[in-house]
Each structure stands twice: as structure tokens, then as C-alpha cells.
């Protein structure tokens, strides 16, 4: 990807009827669930648990798609198609990229006032 699209803000606005409260709620759920899944993926890839890692990547891919997180979706798709037992270095690299992209998304969501902070909403 030359010009990386991290987040399709227009598609997300349309998907959520441009409802800021709903957007923050979705991002909050995504924040917690996806962080846990990426941490789990890291362990599954390290243990070369191919089937479970690919299922977990599939779930991250779906969550990313639901939030219009374009690059995270593409990375999760690539990881879903990568067998950690057969290609451990590639799988580890993809988990690292997923992790960095997740952090980039959290910053983007915060910029758009959609980041749910502990104890409340940012920007609310």
C-alpha cells in the first residue's frame, strides 16, 4: 500500500448515521476486544497454534471491517492466510504490524473524538 488508508471516516459516519455516541461506543468495544485479541494472537503465533491463530485473525479482520479500519482489515486478512507453523517469521511480523496499526487507529479515533477513555468518553 503506497498511500495507506487507516480508517475510512466517511464510511464509518455513514455506517453509524454520524451518531457520535454510537461511534464512541463501537470504538470502545473495539478498543478492548481487539487489544485482547492481538495479545492472544501474539501468544498463539509464538506457540505455532495455526488453527486458533487463523481463527483469531479472522475475528480481528471482521471487527476491523465493521469499524472501517481498512489497513487493519488487510493485515488481519493476510495473517488469517498465513500458517504460523509454516511461516513463523511472517506471522510474527504481521502480528507486530497489527499491533502498530491498532495503536495508530487508537490515535486516529482520539483525533476524531471517538476514543473511549477509562471512566468515560474522550471528547464527550
Q: 115 with 103: CB under 8 angstroms?
A: no
More confident residue, 119 or 22: 22
CA distances from 64 to 30, 40, 47, 77 (A): 8, 16, 24, 10
In a domain, 21, yes or no: yes
The answer to the question of residue 120 being in a domain is no
Please tell me the total count of domains within the chain. Answer: 1
CA–CA dist 124, 116 (Å, integer): 9
Give the structural domain span for 58: 9-113
Residue 17 lies in a domain: yes
Residue 103 lies in a domain: yes
Residue 2 lies inside a defined structural domain of this protein? no
CATH number at residue 84: 1.20.120.160
Left (φ > 0), alpha (ψ -120 to 50) or beta: where does 118 sit? beta
- Taking residues 17-28, what's their average pLDDT? 94
Q: Is residue 4 part of a domain?
A: no
Total-model pTM: 0.88
Residue given cell 482520539 in the structure block: 110
Residue 39: the pLDDT is: 97
Instruction: Judge whether 60 lies within some domain.
Output: yes
Q: What is the mean pLDDT of residues 79-89?
A: 97
Tens digits of residue pLDDT in 53-68: 999 999 999 999 999 9
Cα separation of the two ends of the chain = 34
User: CA-CA distances (angstroms) from residue 75 to 22, 26, 88, 97, 98?
Assistant: 26, 20, 15, 7, 6
Q: In this structure, is residue 26 part of a structural domain?
A: yes
Closest CA to 92 of 27, 44, 26: 44
Amino acid at each position: 500500500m503506497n498511500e495507506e488508508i487507516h480508517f475510512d471516516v466517511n464510511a464509518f459516519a455513514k455506517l453509524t448515521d454520524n451518531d457520535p455516541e454510537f461511534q464512541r461506543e463501537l470504538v470502545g468495544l473495539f478498543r478492548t476486544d481487539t487489544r485482547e485479541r492481538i495479545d492472544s494472537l501474539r501468544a498463539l503465533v509464538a506457540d505455532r497454534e495455526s488453527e486458533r491463530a487463523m481463527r483469531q485473525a479472522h475475528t480481528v479482520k471482521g471487527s476491523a471491517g465493521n469499524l472501517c479500519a481498512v489497513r487493519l482489515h488487510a493485515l488481519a486478512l493476510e495473517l488469517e492466510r498465513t500458517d504460523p507453523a509454516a511461516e513463523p517469521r511472517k506471522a510474527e511480523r504481521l502480528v507486530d504490524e497489527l499491533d502498530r496499526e491498532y495503536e495508530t487507529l487508537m490515535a486516529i479515533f482520539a483525533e476524531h473524538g471517538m476514543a473511549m477513555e477509562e471512566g468515560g468518553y474522550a471528547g464527550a
